[in-house]
Amino acid sequence: MRLSIQDLITGCMWANMHGEITVHNHQTREYARVKILRGNTRETVGGVEGAVYDADDNPVYHLRGSHLAGITGELDAAAAARGVRTPNPNPSPECCQPEACDTVGVA
CA distances 28 to 1, 24, 53, 63, 94, Å, are 25, 9, 11, 20, 27
Q: What is the pLDDT of residue 102?
A: 44
Q: pLDDT tens digits for 81-92?
A: 888 877 655 555
- What one-character DSSP code corresponds to residue 79? H
Q: What are the residue ranges in the chain where pLDDT is below 70?
A: 41-43, 87-107
| Rounded-to-integer distance, Cα 79 and Cα 59, Å | 7
| pLDDT confidence of residue 61 | 92
**81: amino acid identity, one letter:** A
Q: Is 56 helix (H, G, I), strand (E, B) or coil?
A: coil
| pLDDT given at position 16 | 75
Give the tens place of pLDDT for each residue, 7-20.
Answer: 778 777 777 778 99
Its pTM stands at 0.66
60-67 long-range contacts, CB within 8 A, separation 24+: 60/30, 60/84, 63/32, 63/34, 67/36
